[in-house]
Amino acid sequence: MTKHLIDPDKCTACTVCVANCPVTAATREFRGPKMTGPAFERMRKLTDGDDVMLDYCSNCKNCDMSCPSGVPVSTLNMLARAEYYKTHKRKTQADDMLAHSEKMGKLVTSIPFGSSLVNMGMSIGKGLGIMEAMGIAADAPTPAFASESFISKFKKIKQTSYPKKVVFFPGCFINYNQPEVGVDLVKVYQANKIEVIVDDAFVCCGSPLVVGGYLDEAHENANKNIALIKKWIDKGYDVITACTSCGLMLKQEYQELFHSEDAENNAKHLYDSIEYLEILHEEGKLNTNFAPINEKFIYHAACHLRAHGFGLPSLEVLSLIPGLEIENADAGCCGISGSYGFKKDKRPVSLKVGEKLFNRIKQSGAKTALSECGTCRLQMTSGSGLESLHPLTILSRAYSK
């Protein structure tokens, strides 16, 4: 096995992570973070990583967040998963398909009517059981592809140029599935006299590749993004993200997985887009000239947002909009964990994990749910029936009125 720098012997076997692991609570099939992470890590050195339990870990990071000894259990699991698939065959095509969504997104948005054809094909494929045969659940809330990528839309936006500029890393979900979130981000930043730059050489952050066990490909992507981010930071710009998983990957996981000094330096200039607005507000620089929005929203903090450790800036910033009421669902993991909940064999676990959140959303009296994470939004809508939006969309509306 490849040697890595995380020491499983830091684990004191306190079991706090077990109590905080949503998958452990949802299925008896999973032996939990303490066993699957640090305990089995010692064994894996002897058994060449032959551990099927790893497949149950969703990389939600609740174990890491709760561990008093600072053991990055999820990273141990992802490194071990990558080792496992070096010598073991995959059971379905789902991992390959879900890990390489960027390739598909590029293809679909580059051909005329590509998104209509593929979206229709996926819907028919679900009906005919083709997707199930590939390992994707028939009821999985897989995202539709947009007809035009964010990068393409961005190039048509006429921004006012300001001295203050930030570089936006859109990520695959915003680029290929929900480009309107990126457009909203530009509107919100322009309302704050900030010009947005997008580097179209950015590649997928690598998060779907890591959870799929394609670590070498993720490392290649990391090297490209780390160099590009460094280039912009060296020019004096901060870099922002609007997807919490992309943000966590660029800021934290590149360091844990690939031990890059440049990634460590880059992290000091990487921000979530709403965390950045909250900092502007603390400095008295946020444009708070919001039009009223007389509506109640229910907010879900994605696990990968909580793993950042910067609090819940969306609650703070949205509360500044007159008339707006926002309630924190505070109901743990939604169960989707990137693409985990799309898989046929994990869909029941995913729905069980998300049950508490779905009920909280349904009982909230809100008409719209909010979350920064794209796949959380898909899961929230599929589990509760409510429309789910990015908080930037609400901010953009408040600035547009």
What is the contact surface with ligand SF4 in residues (CB under 6 A)?
11-17, 21, 23, 33-34, 37-38, 57-63, 67, 69, 71, 73-74, 77
Tokens of 31: 């032996």
Tokens of 241: 């993200």
CB of 73 to ligand SF4, least distance (A): 5
Closer by beta carbon to ligand SF4, 13 or else 128 = 13
- Residue whose token pair is 């305990």: 39
Q: How many residues in the chain?
A: 401
Please report the sign of the dihedral spanned by the C-alpha atoms of residue 332, residue 337, residue 320, residue 326: negative
Closer by beta carbon to ligand SF4, 37 or else 125 = 37
CB of 341 to ligand SF4, least distance (A): 12
Closer by beta carbon to ligand SF4, 42 or else 285 = 42
- The whole-angstrom separation of Cα 328 and Cα 306 is 13
CB of 213 to ligand SF4, least distance (A): 14
Closer by beta carbon to ligand SF4, 183 or else 349 = 349
CB of 25 to ligand SF4, least distance (A): 9
CB of 17 to ligand SF4, least distance (A): 3
Closer by beta carbon to ligand SF4, 34 or else 360 = 34
Closer by beta carbon to ligand SF4, 75 or else 371 = 75
Task: Return the ∠ at Cα 182 (arms to 178 and 236), rounded to 5°.
Answer: 145
- The whole-angstrom separation of Cα 62 and Cα 373 is 16
CB of 347 to ligand SF4, least distance (A): 15
CB of 92 to ligand SF4, least distance (A): 20
Query: Please, are residues 270 and 249 in contact by the beta-carbon 8 Å criterion?
Result: no
CB of 330 to ligand SF4, least distance (A): 17
Closer by beta carbon to ligand SF4, 54 or else 370 = 54
- Residue whose token pair is 């099927």: 52
CB of 388 to ligand SF4, least distance (A): 22
Closer by beta carbon to ligand SF4, 40 or else 169 = 40
CB atoms within 10 A of CB 291: 12
CB of 265 to ligand SF4, least distance (A): 27
- The whole-angstrom separation of Cα 389 and Cα 396 is 12
CB atoms within 10 A of CB 112: 8
CA atoms within 13 A on the CB side of 235: 13
Closer by beta carbon to ligand SF4, 74 or else 266 = 74
Closer by beta carbon to ligand SF4, 23 or else 151 = 23
